[in-house]
Amino acid sequence: MRKPIMAGNWKMNCDNDEAQALADGVLARAGQVEDATVILCPPATALTTVHAAIANSNIKLGGQNLFWEEAGAFTGEISAKMLLACGCEYVIIGHSERRGRFGTVDEADAEDLAAIFSDTDATVNRKVRAALAAGLRPIVCCGELLSERQAGKTDGVVAAQVRAMLDGIDDEGVANMVIAYEPVWAIGTGEVCDADEAGRVCGMIRDVVEQACGPELAEDMQILYGGSVKPDNVEGLMAMTDIDGGLVGGASLKADSFGALIEAAVASVR
């Protein structure tokens, strides 16, 4: 049975004091949970603070992004080695916001945003390779815009992103990856992809992994749903066969709501 994951993506929230308080709150709710993997992904400035807060607990630490080079003249970037030095075991790669694809921004601005944030299928693959080579477990994101869903392109867009992230990754690497399906139109908007549809797309993702990597790796792949996951919809999402947890944004910024999601993940395997 695949172990469920609840990963909290704090995005650009929490200074060090706020990060300390939030980590302490999650620690009190779920510090010794064993039946689910709990991951906190604070902004880079708070990584060491959160790492110290969760020491001697079962909670894992993750970064929100990395660059594929080990070092160099890449102002503002962070390397796998730097994340490891902060205590990270996981890193989010290819989040829609890093691709310049936002659920709450007019799509007319998409070209400008893509130029600013710049992640593409090709750079996502390079980042996955760098993370795996360094010993980090990447949580690699995929998902469609509202316009792509309305045009009936969901499966094609998501499948292409999954094939690109897997390109050239050996079996050991695939075994250490986590995939997160995050319909862009449901991120930060309050909208949620209904459980049946989220489960269907996650099942399609597993089929793509099977086609690329074989049935055993596909069966073991942990696939998360991300997109306005909340305590009032998590039970239905976790009931889906191909959903193994959540990549959580807003609800991870309050210890009580994130704790409820963790409890739902634990309950899903009992």
State the residue range of the domain holding 16: 5-267
Whole-model pTM?
0.95
pLDDT exceeds 90 at position 203: yes
Collect all residues with Cβ–Cβ distance below 8 Å to 66 and sequence separation of at least 6: 77, 78, 79, 80, 83, 91, 93, 127, 130, 131, 136
Average pLDDT score over residue span 117-131:
94
- Give the containing element (helix H, strand E) for 138: strand 137-142
What is the rounded average pLDDT of the residues 90-115?
76
pLDDT at residue number 121: 96
Q: What is the pLDDT of residue 191?
A: 74
Catalytic residue among 97, 144, 148, 182: 182
- Please, are residues 6 and 245 in contact by the beta-carbon 8 Å criterion? yes
> Residue range 151-163: average pLDDT?
97
- Local confidence band at 270 (pLDDT 50, 70, 90 cut-offs): low
Report how far apart, in Å, the C-alpha atoms of 10 and of each of 46, 118, 135 are: 10, 20, 23
Tokens coding 1: 């049975």
Task: Find the catalytic residue in 51, 95, 144, 148.
Answer: 95
For residue 192, the model assigns a pLDDT of 72
Tally the domains of the chain.
Answer: 1
Contacts of 137 (CB under 8 A, 6+ apart): 89, 90, 91, 131, 176, 177, 178
- Residue 133 clears pLDDT 80, i.e. is over it: yes
Kindly report, residue by residue over 13-41, the tens digit of the pLDDT: 999 999 999 999 999 999 899 999 999 99
**Domain CATH for 187:** 3.20.20.70
Residues 123-148 have a mean pLDDT of 96
DSSP string, 170-218: -HHHHHT-EEEE--GGGSSSS----HHHHHHHHHHHHHHHHHHH-HHHH
Residue 29: per-residue pLDDT: 92
Whether 182 sits among the annotated catalytic residues: the reply is yes
pLDDT per position as a tens digit, 242-256: 999 999 999 999 999
Percent residues over pLDDT 70 in the chain: 95
